[in-house]
């Protein structure tokens, strides 16, 4: 069983709609959670991070964390074609310095 | 410009021929890490370092070595490369802290024949 799981997609989203991405993790002691966006052939770039239960908003992006359910999500509002990319969920494990990434969810925003 | 620089960007080599992928950062970050990315598997951590002379294993350290003699540099060494190490490799760095994002280099695509 993978320790950080994401739906691989592709997740097809009409332009202007909300994209909802999910991530579950297995280590209950995990400390922080990061969402990265990766365009094809490029390196990952940070979208946002969250470490407290609840919601965190940054522009069109909202991260949600539920530690009891070991679940973190990312909402992209008003999706744009430029949001078409693979989104990686990253988890900082209790042994600080050790990260685990999900395999990523491919998002395709259709005009 | 703040950046993480990896070299080479592309390398095709043969089994058993030692190679080094360099990584350098100019942000004075304490933390550096190496990942490999394979289709369907996402990023997997190879080694990480929280300071000079301090390195630790990630999830897939077999077949790799690292060193951290200077704060800015964190080379990845494959002493006897094998075809299963063909992959896309990323170096990353960050400040210390549980809420610090990692900055990634542009990646190194290695092909071991």
Q: For B14-55, what is each residue's pLDDT tens digit?
A: 999 999 999 999 999 999 999 999 988 889 999 999 999 999
pLDDT of residue B2: 83
**What average pLDDT does the segment B9-18 reach?**
96
**pLDDT of A2 over the 70 cut:** no
For residue B73, the 8-state DSSP code is B
Tens digits of residue pLDDT in A66-87 = 999 999 999 999 999 999 999 9
pLDDT band of residue A1 (cuts 50, 70, 90) is low
Enumerate residues 6+ apart whose C-beta is below 8 A from B100.
Answer: B31, B94
Confirm if B89 and B76 have CB atoms less than 8 A apart.
yes
pLDDT band of residue B98 (cuts 50, 70, 90) is confident
Q: Beta strand B108-112 with B10-13: parallel, antiparallel or unpaired?
A: parallel
Touching A: B residues 8-47, CB under 8 Å: 31, 33, 35, 40-45
Q: Beta strand A105-110 with A11-14: parallel, antiparallel or unpaired?
A: parallel
Interface touch A100/B59, C-beta < 8 Å: yes
Tell whether A32 lies on the interface with B, counting CB pairs under 8 A. Answer: yes
Enumerate residues 6+ apart whose C-beta is below 8 A from A75.
Answer: A18, A19, A20, A21, A61, A62, A63, A64
Q: Enumerate helices (H) and strands (E) in chain B, giving the number of each.
A: 0, 11
Nearest to B42 among A88, A97, A98 (CB): A88
């Amino acid at each position: 069983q993978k320790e950080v799981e994401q739906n691989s997609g592709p997740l097809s989203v009409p332009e202007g709609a909300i994209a909802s991405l999910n991530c579950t993790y297995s280590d209950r002691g995990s400390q922080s959670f990061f969402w990265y966006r990766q365009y094809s052939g490029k390196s990952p770039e940070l979208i946002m991070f969250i470490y407290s239960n609840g919601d965190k908003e940054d522009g069109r992006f909202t991260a949600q964390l539920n530690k009891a359910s070991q679940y973190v999500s990312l909402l992209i509002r008003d999706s744009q074609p430029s949001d078409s990319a693979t989104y990686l969920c990253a988890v900082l494990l209790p042994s600080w310095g050790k990260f685990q990434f999900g395999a990523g969810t491919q998002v395709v925003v259709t005009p | 410009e703040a950046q993480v620089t990896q070299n080479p960007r592309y390398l095709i080599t043969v089994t058993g021929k030692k190679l080094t992928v360099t990584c350098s950062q100019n942000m004075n970050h304490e933390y550096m890490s190496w990942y490999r990315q394979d289709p369907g598997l996402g990023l997997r951590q190879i080694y990480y370092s929280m300071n000079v002379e301090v390195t630790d294993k990630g999830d897939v350290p077999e077949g790799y070595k690292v060193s951290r003699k200077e704060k800015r540099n964190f080379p990845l060494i494959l002493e006897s490369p094998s075809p299963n190490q063909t992959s896309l490799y990323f170096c990353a760095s960050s400040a210390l802290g549980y809420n610090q994002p990692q900055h990634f280099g542009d990646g190194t695509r290695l092909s071991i024949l």
